[in-house]
Each structure stands twice: as structure tokens, then as C-alpha cells.
Amino acid sequence: MRVCLLASGSRGNSTLIEVDGCRLLIDAGLSGIETSRRLSTIGLTCDDLHAILVTHEHHDHVGGIGPLARRHNLPVYIDQQTHAALPKLGKIADLQLFSAGESFSLQNLLISSFSTTHDAVNPVGFTIQSDEGKIGFATDLGIPTRLVANQLQDCRVLVLEANHDEQMLQDGSYPWELKQRIRSRHGHLSNNQSCLLLEEICWSGMEALFLAHLSEENNCPDLAGQVFRETLTGCGHDPEIIIGRQSCASFCFETEPLLVS
Ligand SMILES: [Zn+2]
Ligand SMILES: [Zn+2]
């Protein structure tokens, strides 16, 4: 199992997940060239990919999907309302439509989608389950709902939004309307909101926590890392914390296969 945030933040998001030989991207907000460049830092090319999963239609998540899917013949798994909200996506030869809340298989993986609250038509998070354990993925969340907390239980690796520090957002230069949008039930999770969610779902089997979609203006990697480390310590757990960056790929987390007893 390998997980790497190729890019994370309001200017482009894409995450590489490799489980049991199946390599997929969750979102493709970078250009094809940049996706390829960042994959190369972990020894992969776009031709090594098997699928793209889409969380929602915002440009920072879908900007590179059309060209990437067409050039490399990749199936695109996308909620049907989200697809309808992307008239400029262009033709995708292998379009795999689902409805938020549905599960589907991809090679040996069971992928489940679940609804999130965000200002998009039908946004989702994902869990990916296999013999190697469960990966949870939830970014672009207005609020951490009960459904999200339930879906993200028992994850070996968790990718969670940590968009802003509430005080930095308050004191920062964004216009008031934008601050309100970010803070709203359909905006983004603050460090504190995300930590409250984490308290409900962290467990001894969690090996890595990725912090994703950090605002470059309203958050700071060191601060976020410290806040989440304190939360995890308070819960008695010690997974690795890996922080997603906008300008480069994150550390690539890699596990050995679980020993089957
Ligand atoms: Zn986003
Ligand atoms: Zn969004």
C-alpha cells in the first residue's frame, strides 16, 4: 500500500493511492504534465495508473481529468450529478457513473463513496478497502457529519482536510464573504473541527494521518502538525502525520502487507 498527496490545496488536488497493484488517483486538479512530473518523484508514470476517482466538480479537483483520462485511457469514476455539472469535461471513453453513497469494485478493491457537505452539487469522500486494510479520504468538508465519522472508522491510513486555523482566517486578508463561505456548513474544515472528528475515529490501527487541503494563507503546516499531534497524543495514539503541500508531492507513505494469521 502506498499513499502520496501529489498536490494539496486550493490551487490543485490529486492523491495517488496504490493498493494490491491497483493505482488510482483521487481527483486530478493538476495539469497532465505536472501530474506526470510529480508521479515521477515516486517512480511512476501516468501509464501506471488504472483509474481516476472524483470527489466533486470544483476546478482544483478536476482541472486535469479530461486530458489525463483521454491520453492514458483511464476510466473515470464520478457521481452522475457531479458529471452533469461538468459540461466542459469532454468525452471520457470509459465513464463509470455512480450515485453518492454507492460502493463499487475496482480490481481487488472495494470502493465506497459517501456524501459530504460542501458547496458542490453532490460531493463525496471515499473509503478503499482491501486485504491490506482500509484507507479513508475526506477533504472539502463543511462540517464533520455523523455519516462521515461512521465511514472513516477503522482506517489504516486516513486523508483528512485541515484547511484553516480559525484565528488566522479571522485575522487574514480574505474578503468577509469568502471568510463566511469557508466557515460555513458548506465550506472547509478548520484544524479544530478536523481534530474533533479525529478524536472520534482515531484508533490503535491507524498508521498514517495525511493532513490535506491546507490553506496557504490561513494555515501553517507547523501549526497544523502540532495541533493534530496534540489531539492524537490525547487519544493515546501515535500514527505518522504527513502534511500535503501545494507546490510538491508529499512524503509517500508505504506499508508492508498485513500479516495474515
Ligand atoms: Zn478543494
Ligand atoms: Zn471544493
As a whole number of angstroms, the distance between CA 80 and CA 174 comes to 33
Residue spans of beta strands (DSSP E) within 29-176: 51-53, 76-79, 95-98, 103-106, 109-115, 124-130, 133-138, 157-161
Q: From the CA of 119, which ligand is nearest?
A: 2
List strands edge to edge, sheet with 2-7: 95-98, 76-79, 51-53, 22-26, 14-19, 2-7, 253-254
* All three cell numbers of 204: 490503535
Q: From the CA of 13, which ligand is nearest?
A: 1
Q: Give the model's pLDDT for residue 259.
A: 64
**Of 80, 105, 81, whose CA–CA distance to 19 is shortest?**
105
Q: Give the model's pLDDT for residue 188.
A: 96
Q: From the CA of 120, which ligand is nearest?
A: 2
- Give the pLDDT confidence of 176-212 residue by residue, as tens digits: 999 999 999 999 999 999 999 999 999 999 999 999 9
- Phi/psi at 202 (nearest 5 deg)? -75, 150
CA of 10 to the centre of ligand 1 (A): 5
Q: Please, what is the average pLDDT of the chain?
A: 96
Q: From the CA of 11, which ligand is nearest?
A: 1
What residues in the chain have per-residue pLDDT under 70?
A: 257-261
Q: Which residue type does 211 have?
A: L
**Of 66, 157, 84, whose CA–CA distance to 120 is shortest?**
84
CA of 9 to the centre of ligand 2 (A): 10
**Of 143, 241, 123, whose CA–CA distance to 189 is shortest?**
143
Q: Give the model's pLDDT for residue 258.
A: 60
Q: Which residue type does 191 have?
A: N
